[in-house]
Amino acid sequence: MSQETTDALEAAVRAHVADEGEGAYLTDWVLIAAGAMPEDPHSTTYITESSDGPIHHRTGLVRYLACRTDQLLTDDED
C-alpha cells in the first residue's frame, strides 16, 4: 500500500475511533478485505494491512473480531 493510501486510511480510522469512542484515540488497526478479479469474477483475492504496532496487538484485534463475529452469528435473540 502506498504511503499516501496508508495515511488516508489511518486518518479515517483515527477519526472514526474518536467519533464512535467518544474521544478515544487510535492505538492499532487491522484491515482485511476481499476483492474479485476482473478477469475472473468468481475468484477472490484477499488483502491484509495493519498498523506498525506490535504483532500481539494486531493478533489480538483479529482474534477479537473472530470471537465477536461468532457471537453475532450464534446470537439466539434474533
Query: Is pTM beyond 0.85 here?
Result: no
With cut-offs at 50, 70 and 90, classify the pLDDT of residue 76: low
Rounded distance between C-alpha atoms, residue 37 and residue 33, angstroms: 13
Q: Residue 30 has what pLDDT?
A: 94
Q: How far apart are the first and last CA of the chain?
A: 39
Q: Where are the domains of the chain?
A: 3-74
Flag whether pLDDT at 78 surpasses 60: no
Residue 1 has pLDDT above 70, yes or no: yes
DSSP the chain: --HHHHHHHHHHHHHHHHHHTTS------EEEEEEEETTEEEEEEEEEEE-SS-HHHHHHHHHHHHHHHHHHHH-TT-
Name the grid cell of 28: 492499532
pLDDT per residue as tens digits for the range 7-53? 999 999 999 999 999 889 999 999 999 999 889 989 999 999 999 88
Q: What is the pLDDT of residue 41?
A: 82
